[in-house]
Amino acid sequence: SRLISKGSTKQFHLFFQQYHEADIADALSLLEPELRHQFFVKASSKEGTDVLEEMELPEQLELITEFKTELAAKYIEDMEPDVAVDLLEELFETDEEKAEQILEAIPKEDAAEIKELLSYKEDSAGAIMTSEFVSIPQDLSVKEAVSEIKKQNPPNSEIAFYIFIVDHVSRLVGYITLRDTLMAPKDASVKDIRNDYPIKTTVDTDQEEVAELFRKYDVIALPVVNHDNQLVGLITVDDVVDVVVEEA
């Protein structure tokens, strides 16, 4: 607590780099609300976002309500879309005006993405998916695919494991894994190494059915399509763990 309130910026960052964000979140939950708030004001954008995502929803809600609109918008913008949507859904119920102000302060493209996720029925695949995923056109060589994947800069999570193959109107036609991509000859075609039968779900599938798909097929991520078979999102195994706990 002394480091948060009186430590230099350098001391602050050096200290918290030694700990996992989940452990930092646990420690912050034991502090007074004012100190928790100071932590997120002082933290770098990535530091703060990683920790905020690990906190329980009531604590996230308390913090985002107290933040100035600009700071709240920055955190919502940087959070994983599905986590940000869960938080905003709660905020709309408790402080609709604040939620609207935050959405207004977020860049239009990001705000549109969040509003789309907010529109899905509660407890459906659309409501728990993230709009972050890696997809590439089907007519690339492996060398071109690697370049495109790097350009999309996937996060260090399950999101990066599957590379989804789409046609010219974003319809899902197959997938490759990151390992497939790295091991294949660079002059090979993506069409030659892709799996044409991705396990998938639709946006309106109930979350319990989604959890069963993960159990049955032992996957770590599941693509979500709309009724035109267009790829619109991704559900990762950590989302399903949350679903199983909630349903239990």
Q: CA 219, CA 24: separation in Å to the nearest integer?
A: 29
Least confident of 1-5, 92-96, 188-192: 1-5
Position 89 pLDDT exceeds 90: yes
How would you class 3 by CB atoms within 10 Å of its CB: exposed for 0-12, middle for 13-18, buried for 19 or more? middle
Percentage of the chain modeled with pLDDT above 90: 75
User: What DSSP string describes the chain?
Assistant: -HHHHH--HHHHHHHHTTS-HHHHHHHHTTS-HHHHHHHHHHS-HHHHHHHHHHS-HHHHHHHHHHS-HHHHHHHHHHS-HHHHHHHHHHHHHH-HHHHHHHHHHS-HHHHHHHHHHHTSPTTBHHHH-BS---EEETT-BHHHHHHHHHHH---SSGGGTEEEEE-TT-BEEEEEEHHHHHHS-TTSBHHHH-BS----EETTSBHHHHHHHHHHHT-SEEEEE-TT-BEEEEEEHHHHHHHHHHH-
Tokens of residue 189, six digits:
């075609």
> What is the average per-residue pLDDT within 229-247?
88
**pLDDT at res. 13:** 80
Kindly report the average pLDDT of the chain as a whole number: 92
| Band (15; pLDDT cuts 50, 70, 90) | confident
- Residue 162 is classified by DSSP as E
Q: CA 64, CA 58: separation in Å to the nearest integer?
A: 10
Per residue in 125-164, pLDDT tens? 999 999 999 999 989 999 999 999 999 998 878 888 999 9
Position 82 pLDDT exceeds 70: yes
Q: Structure pTM?
A: 0.81
Please tell me the total number of residues recorded for the chain in this structure.
248
Tokens 């929803």 sit on residue: 57
Per residue in 219-235, pLDDT tens? 999 999 999 999 999 99
Position 248 pLDDT exceeds 70: no
Per residue in 52-78, pLDDT tens? 999 999 999 999 999 999 999 999 999
| Cβ atoms 197, 155 nearer than 8 A | no
Q: CA 66, CA 37: separation in Å to the nearest integer?
A: 8
